Amino acid sequence: MAASDSSFIHWRFAAQGLFDLKQALKKQGIQLLVLHAEFIEFFERLLEYVDVKIVYSHCETGNQVSFNRDKHVAAYLKMKAVIWKEYQRDGVVRRLKSRKAWPANWYQTMHNSLFASASLKFSELRLPVPFLNAFEIPDFPIDDKARFQPGGRQNGLKYLNSFLQERVVGYVKHISKPAESRRSCSRLSPYLAWGMLSMREVYQAVERQKKLQPERRFQLKFFQERLRWHCHFIQKFETECRMEFHNLNPVFNQVRTQTNERILEAWKAGATGFPLVDACMRCLKATGYINFRMRAMLVSFITHNCWQPWQAIAPYLAQLFLDYEPGIHYPQIQMQAGSSGTHIIRTYDVVKQSYKQDPMGNFIRLWVEELKDLPLAFVHEPWKLSREDRMKSIPSYPEPVVDLKQSRQFAQQELWGLKKTKQAKEYNQYLLNLLTNQGS
């Protein structure tokens, strides 16, 4: 876990998964060590009891904090003459030379057979109790009232099965809707992010389902394409990790540099005065999940309409997303903020989205308590109420923090202006070669 982006919900989800795994293995008579510590501190003491020759791990596409940790670990293990073997994850390649064959290679990787854990041979390792106690994760209290998805591989498999057998029916239709997507999307993202399910096993399960239910091929294939995009973005971040902090195209460095704390706080609290924006934020805070389109809208609103630097909101969202995945997080935020240069600038109209994605206003009414008794037209646009009615019926709901039309026009003008400069276009050519699959 990267310290800078860590949060309570991540910790809880991860811990739940580990205890789940520990219980499952205990039934088979295998005692799994679930320990928690900084690697070097732990390993240094472990070496007092065991002669370790090789360390295995997956190849993590993390953020700067985890990258620095890995560099320390690599140097330390080299010094101890221990081999560190990292396995490629999800078709994401370290030090990738060219992306040209990436999509084809990804599909190939997804079809390769799964690693057969059953063939592993374990031998008993005896460690003294005080050593174990020093690193043991304490029992983790599960809050029954919390509305986050439950951790653990077993829960991940439940989501996978219910998605493939039932929920996928509405996948394409509901993918952009904040309410319906909660059921019709797979909801596998946290299990994938935390390694409780592997990308390849999910892909192959979908492949099997396509054969079982040819009538659902369209939806299932669409989902597989989403899985590929998932990895596509992680690969981008693997190749260009500076995008955690810097605009991908430096031409954008000259604008949107000042923060406005009042506006940032309003957005973080779900109190911007724009019902769908506020509903999405409040829902995300309560459940750790909001669908992709609404994430894009939240970022578009704060970076374009509110003209806030994306760097000011990236760690906050990382903490809220139960499925936080650095390799998706930063490319997506820059894409929605329009700072990648190579992507078109999407400036969502949050009112239009409101009418389109939540036509009956049900999602808004569910999450923005203040608006639940308003007639439909005002649920989308409460500022249309007369001042008198507003004071009477929604006294605690805030006025809009920005002028939607004006702010949108300003952002478009600024960003398109920069995007069209010679400097931006030249740098984009470099980025296209580096980060897309058409490059040389």
For binding to DNA (CB under 7 A), which residues are involved? Answer: 103-104, 106-107, 176, 226, 228-230, 232-233, 292-293, 332, 335, 342-347, 349, 352, 356, 420, 428, 432, 436-438
In the complex with DNA, the residue whose CB is nearer, 128 or 250, is: 250
Rounded to whole angstroms, the Cα distance separating 309 from 312 reads 6
Rounded to whole angstroms, the Cα distance separating 130 from 189 reads 37
List, in sequence order, the alpha helices (H) in 213-253: 217-239
Rounded to whole angstroms, the Cα distance separating 133 from 382 reads 56
Number of continuous H segments (helices) and E segments (strands) in the chain? 22, 2
How far apart are CB 427 and DNA at their closest, in Å? 12
CB atoms within 10 A of CB 391: 10
Rounded to whole angstroms, the Cα distance separating 199 from 230 reads 10
How far apart are CB 176 and DNA at their closest, in Å? 5
In the complex with DNA, the residue whose CB is nearer, 64 or 437, is: 437
In the complex with DNA, the residue whose CB is nearer, 294 or 394, is: 294
In the complex with DNA, the residue whose CB is nearer, 227 or 271, is: 227
Q: How far is CA 49 from the centre of its chain?
A: 39
In the complex with DNA, the residue whose CB is nearer, 14 or 345, is: 345
How far apart are CB 346 and DNA at their closest, in Å? 4
Closest among 257, 328, 256, 265 to 292, alpha carbons compared: 328
**Structural element, H or E, at residue 203:** helix 199-212
Closest among 119, 291, 121, 109 to 201, alpha carbons compared: 109
Rounded to whole angstroms, the Cα distance separating 388 from 203 reads 56
How far apart are CB 225 and DNA at their closest, in Å? 8
Q: Nearest 5 degrees, angle CA 193-CA 10-CA 272?
A: 100
Query: How many Cα atoms within 13 Å fall on the side-chain side of residue 203?
Result: 22
How far apart are CB 438 and DNA at their closest, in Å? 3
In the complex with DNA, the residue whose CB is nearer, 58 or 420, is: 420
- 87 forms beta bridges with 58
In the complex with DNA, the residue whose CB is nearer, 16 or 334, is: 334
How far apart are CB 261 and DNA at their closest, in Å? 28
Residue carrying structure tokens 């360390």: 55
In the complex with DNA, the residue whose CB is nearer, 84 or 292, is: 292
How far apart are CB 252 and DNA at their closest, in Å? 16
37: three-class secondary structure by DSSP: coil
In the complex with DNA, the residue whose CB is nearer, 16 or 61, is: 61
How far apart are CB 345 and DNA at their closest, in Å? 6
How far apart are CB 133 and DNA at their closest, in Å? 44
